[in-house]
Structures are given as C-alpha cells and as structure tokens.
Structure 1
Amino acid sequence: MYSQNQDIGPITVSISRRVKSGYEPQYERWISKMVEAASNFPGHQSVNVLRPSPATQGEYVIIYRFDTYADCQRWETSQIRQDFLQEVQDWIEGESNTRRATGIEFWFDLPQLPNKSPKAYKMVLVLIPVVFILVYILNYILQPIKSSLPAWLHSLIIVSLQVILMTYLVMPKVTQVLKSWLFK
C-alpha cells in the first residue's frame, strides 16, 4: 500500500468478490448505488464492472479509477463507502481481493486476470519496441506538416496520439497476444 502523502498520480483499483447464490439482484442494485456515490467524489474518473463469467472465475470485479491517490483515499475512507461495504457483507462469500495499479501497469491489465500484473522487466521489454515503433510511424506520417508547426506542438501531437493509440488500441492487443509470457 502507498503512503498517504505520496503523490503517485492516477490510480486504478480492482476489487474481486464472489456473491452468494441468490443475492445477485441485491448486489447488482448495490453496485449501481455505489457507482453513483463514487462518481460524486472529487477526482473520480470511471468505474467498470465485470460480471461473473469463466474469465473472472465466477466473481464480480469492480474496477474504479481516481486521478490521484489522495482522491482515491478520500473515497475509500469515506463514511458513505464504509456504509456501502457494511451493507454488502452478508451477500459476499469469502474475502474480497483488492489490487491497486499506478503508472504503466494499467496498460497490461487483462480482464481475465484482474489481480495479476506482469513483472516490471517484462513491461519494459514490451514498451520499448512499442514506443519506438509508434514514435517512428507517427513522425513519418506527420512529416509533411512538421515544418509548419512549432516543435512543441509537433511533439505534443506525437505524444497525444501515441498515448491514445497505446491505451485504446495497441497495448490491449499486444497484452492479449503476449499474455502467456507476460503473466507467467
């Protein structure tokens, strides 16, 4: 766990729970209310819910994101969240499994493996060629307009496109293709 005064930037938290048979409708309503409450907290970015499936080993997985660790802590230590957690206790089988990710770890998340991250050296070995190839391709594509733009704007465009492509297109595919090596 991170110290409270540590500014680590955006944080993603995943919580896996197995719901007792017959309590699924109550749990679904609980999720809706909890998501609405969390969305009203400063720094809240998003929530995704993975419903029980073979990929989640029959568990519900709630993934939420906050812009800073401090904002995430405000939500996690709030009385409203404590009340939500108390309400759900009787519906849960076993312990909840919580995982926090910061930095580049989120580029390597697989919904099928919500509580597992690859080793840092493997992330580096994957990111170096991905970043290099994207920078090279984007520079080549944007070469015709490079001379008409200030250097800072050209760099901003390259970085913005690269992050968007890596987050939504490239890294999900690369992670899926390399999952047997990354997560072993």
Structure 2
Amino acid sequence: MTSSPVTVSITRHVLPELADEMVRWIRAGEALAEQVPGFLGAGWVRPGLDSDRWQLLYRFADEESLAGWENSERRRSWLWDAEVLGLVESASTRGTGLEGWFDGTPSAPPRWKQASVIWLAFFPLSLIAAYVFAAVAPHLSIPLRVLLTTFVMIPLMTWVVLPQLTRRLGWWLNKG
C-alpha cells in the first residue's frame, strides 16, 4: 500500500499588531521544515489585513515524513517561540481526502454526491463480502455474518476506498 501526501491545516488567532512577528515566525518555521525529508511546501492566508485569523498549511510526502517534523526538536523550539511571542491560540486538522464532507463547510459536496460516492464504495464491497462469506462460512448466522462484514468493510472504506474515490472523483465532487 502506497502512502499519500498529508496536508496539515493550522488556524492561529493573532492580534493584528503582532502581524509582523507572525510573518517572521511563519517564515522561520518554513525554513526549518524545509530541512526535513519529505517536506513538500507550506503557505498561509488571512481573510483580511484587520483579521486576527491566520490559516497555515504545510504538506509532507507521507505520514512518516510528517511524524519526523512533528517529533523534531526544531519544531518544538519553533512552537516555543510562538508561545513567547503570544501566537499560541490554535487548532489543527489533517487532510485525507474526506475532510469537509460532514462538517457543513462550503467546500463540502452536496449530500447526494456524498451518498453516491459512498454507495459506489459500499455496493461492490458488500457484494464481494457476501460471496466470500457464503463460500467460506455458509454456516454463520446472518447477524454474525453482518458483524464480521462491517468489521472488515468500515475500516477498508474509511482508509482505503473512500479516500481514493474522493481523489479520483474530485473533479465531479467539487464541481459547482
């Protein structure tokens, strides 16, 4: 199984009078992250000059590269600098391809598209599971068969099938 790039999104609330310090701090963090193998890039945006909200994004080639950055002493030191400067109120999320689907954000596809993609993943997996369990364990009761099927299918759909379908059908899911 190949690993996919990982994007981390961090929201920081910074007083407008600390904007210059924030820019310097972000640039210092980018310079540090560039030294980590697997770093793919970073950036930041603000809704406006008077906004206290800063959205920082950074991307790594895979979870292993990201872990190298997140567990590094240089990152801990960089974050400590943010505390000293008063740039500490934050929240972060990790992107896998399904983000935004269930939180009602404007980027979330319409529910009918979400249902369509889930059905595209669920139907073939259910069909395969039904044939496999009928052939391998025909004596199992229906509740036990459904329990075992969902035990296998839910993680498979969540971490393998749906992220791949979301990426491949992104052109359609995000189409106005």
Q: CA distance change for structure 1 residues 119 and 42 in 2, over 3 Å: closer, same or farther?
A: farther
Q: Counterpart of 1:64?
A: 58
Q: Are 2:69 and 1:75 aligned? A: yes
List per-residue Cα deviations over 1:97-139 (Å, max 9, x = no partner). 110012x236x69xxx59x86799854636999xxxxxxxxxx
Q: Distance in 1 between matches of 2:89 and 2:118?
A: 34
Q: Counterpart of 1:29?
A: 24
> Normalising by structure 1, what TM-score?
0.53
List per-residue Cα deviations over 1:80-106 (Å, max 9, x = no partner). 11111000114446631110012x236
Instruction: Write the mapping of 1:74-93 to structure 2, written as runs, cut at 5 A.
Output: 74-92=68-86
The alignment-based identity, stated in percent, is: 25
Q: Distance in 2 between matches of 1:14 and 1:41?
A: 18
Gaps of 5+ in 1: 1-5, 130-163, 178-184
Q: Counterpart of 2:136?
A: none
Given that 1:9 and 1:68 are in contact with CA atoms closer than 8 Å, whether structure 2 keeps it comes out as yes
The residue matched to 1:40 in structure 2 has which SS? coil
Gaps of 5+ in 2: 121-166
Q: CA distance change for structure 1 residues 124 and 36 in 2, over 3 Å: closer, same or farther?
A: farther
Given that 1:7 and 1:68 are in contact with CA atoms closer than 8 Å, whether structure 2 keeps it comes out as no
Q: Are 2:116 and 1:125 aligned? A: yes
Q: Are 2:35 and 1:44 aligned? A: no
Q: CA distance change for structure 1 residues 121 and 48 in 2, over 3 Å: closer, same or farther?
A: farther
List per-residue Cα deviations over 1:7-26 (Å, max 9, x = no partner). 75321100000012311101
Given that 1:48 and 1:63 are in contact with CA atoms closer than 8 Å, whether structure 2 keeps it comes out as yes
CA-based RMSD of the aligned residues comes to 4.1
Q: Counterpart of 2:8?
A: 13
